[in-house]
Amino acid sequence: MHSFGKKPRTTPRAHPAETGTTEKRRRPFYAAAAGALALAGTAAGLWINALESPSPHGPKHWLMPEYAASELGRVAAGSRFIESIDNPSTYEILSAHTGPDVLPQATHVMVFDSFRAIRLAFSEHRIPGTVKGILYDNERWKGTPSVEQRQPFTYVRLAEQLVHAHGLLFMNAPAPDLNTTLEGNKQYDNYQGYLHLRLGALAKYADVFDIQAQRAGGVSAYSSFVRRAAMQAKGINHDATVLCGLTTAVSTSRDLTREVRATENTCDGYWLNVIGGESGVATALPMLENIYSIK
């Protein structure tokens, strides 16, 4: 499986300096304890701040459709954002968009709803040489055959084997609504069912794994689900790049910002869905301006 770089996760630690003198070793215990507590307090404060404060450089990875990147690139702040992420750590989903590619240095990706469609595309030689990754977007919808919906662990594994056999990056984004297709799981809502079925463990097969949390229902529910799903994903494949879904369809600008701030130390990046054309751009931009300090 391909291995990609991850942003470091470090927890500051304070180590008391060794003085080496007999006199200092004999200082009263309460003074030593107070010093240790002060150092520990500083370290804890740094650790808490690291969790609560956004990265000064923004998330390392972004995934977005070509049309969304083009829409963002039409306004000044959005254009600066697009320029800043035009590198191989960004994944751009190719589409029928006919304008210039605003992310030429990004890793280009094709998305498919089914293993069957992926296999057919390879057999018919419909994967351009510029494409470096294949995204399997398996959901409870017409595009994903019912047998694939009911057996995600089987078909994600088959898709991974096929894609890697062709030397490409394998990406998977199983939707939470897959849980309702499986027997004995109907008592759960989509997100509880996802966790109950451990769909996050599908990251075992993926180079890049997306947690579709974008409709979880508010910032608190979003961050809680992301943390638990990411624990499943990273627990089984620490090397996977774990992305988390964001959408302008149901989240406000403020919600998007809070969702990123609450999870940026959990997620390696985000799949940004800009829905609604200009209105979607207007919703996404304040979040991007806040994270990247762009205007």
Q: What is the pLDDT of residues 4-38, one digit of tens each?
A: 333 333 333 333 333 333 333 333 333 343 343 34
Same domain, 201 and 240: yes
Mean pLDDT computed over 170-191: 79
Same domain, 44 and 63: no
pLDDT at 293: 72
Same domain, 34 and 168: no
Interatomic CA distance for residues 285 and 38, integer angstroms: 41
> Which of these, 166, 167, 188, lies nearest to 177 by C-alpha position?
188
Interatomic CA distance for residues 151 and 4, integer angstroms: 28
> Which of these, 257, 272, 259, lies nearest to 71 by C-alpha position?
272
Full domain range(s) for residue 44: 7-53
Same domain, 139 and 48: no
Same domain, 121 and 217: yes
Report the CATH number that the domain containing residue 170 is assigned in CATH. Answer: 3.20.20.70
Same domain, 142 and 44: no
R_g (Cα) of the chain, nearest Å: 22
2 located within any domain: no
The encoded tokens of residue 196 equal: 């109950």
The encoded tokens of residue 250 equal: 């149901």
258 located within any domain: yes
| Percent of all residues in the chain with a pLDDT value above 70, rounded to a whole number | 77
Same domain, 139 and 229: yes
Same domain, 76 and 43: no
The total of structural domains in the chain comes to 2
Same domain, 45 and 160: no
> Which of these, 176, 256, 185, lies nearest to 211 by C-alpha position?
176
* pLDDT of 287 higher than 60: yes
Same domain, 123 and 246: yes
Of the residues 33, 53, 73, the one at which a domain ends: 53
Interatomic CA distance for residues 263 and 269, integer angstroms: 9
* Beta carbons of 243 and 269 less than 8 angstroms apart: yes
- pLDDT tens across 110-164, in order? 999 999 999 999 999 999 999 999 999 999 999 999 999 999 999 999 999 999 9
178 located within any domain: yes
pTM: 0.79
Under the banding of pLDDT at 50, 70 and 90, the label for residue 186 is low
Under the banding of pLDDT at 50, 70 and 90, the label for residue 182 is low
Same domain, 134 and 280: yes
Rounded (10°) angle between helices 278-292 and 76-84: 60
Q: Which long-range contacts (CB under 8 A, 24 or more apart) does 7-12 make?
A: 7/55, 7/60, 7/268, 9/265, 11/43, 11/47, 11/50, 12/42, 12/43, 12/46, 12/47, 12/50
Rounded (10°) angle between helices 115-123 and 152-165: 20
78 located within any domain: yes
195 located within any domain: yes
- pLDDT tens across 200-222, in order? 999 999 999 999 999 988 899 99
149 located within any domain: yes
1 located within any domain: no
Q: Which helix (H) or strand (E) holds 98?
A: none
Same domain, 162 and 216: yes
- pLDDT tens across 72-111, in order? 999 999 999 999 999 999 999 998 766 789 999 999 999 9
Using the CB atoms, write b or e for 196-213: b if 16+ within 10 Å: ebebbbbbbbbbbbbbbb
